[in-house]
Amino acid sequence: MDIVHGDQRDKLFLGLSKSRKLYVSRVNSDSMILAPNVTSFTTAPDFIIYTTTSHDAIFAPLSVAGELAGSGVTAGTVEEAAKDWPQRKVERGSRIVTAVPSAMSLVLQMPRGNLETINPRPLVMEVVKQDLDA
């Protein structure tokens, strides 16, 4: 996915390992662990959204994740930054299907197979900010 740093565009790569670690990397840099214990993830224009084994949906700001990727930060720095990221409890075992930023919604698949759509505050607030700026 493309991210913007000031006047410069950059590519950001995300990947989820079998050991449930979410990795992030930029072009020509080493990958780093953004989060451990991740069960699913997706991206929205302003966030990397992921669910964890502790039944949380976490909304990592894309700008912060882009700055952390490839900058040689330690795991402790990422954990400190993650404390300020918005999060929301989700049902146990739910996984992200997709995010629909224009509808301010996140679609989750529940363990029983049914789909649920939620409107998390971070996605709603981004649309409200865009509308106020317009």
Q: Say what the pTM is.
A: 0.87
Q: Which two tokens stand for residue 59?
A: 């909304």
**Structural domain range at position 103:** 2-133
HSE-CB of 109 using CA atoms within 13 angstroms: 9
CATH label of the domain that carries residue 25: 2.40.128
The total of structural domains in the chain comes to: 1
- Return d(Cα 22, Cα 15) in angstroms, integer: 6
Length in residues, the chain: 134
From first to last of its 134 residues, the chain has per-residue pLDDT tens of: 656 555 556 788 899 999 999 998 888 777 888 899 999 999 998 899 999 999 999 999 888 877 777 666 666 677 888 888 999 999 999 999 999 988 999 999 999 999 999 999 999 998 898 889 87
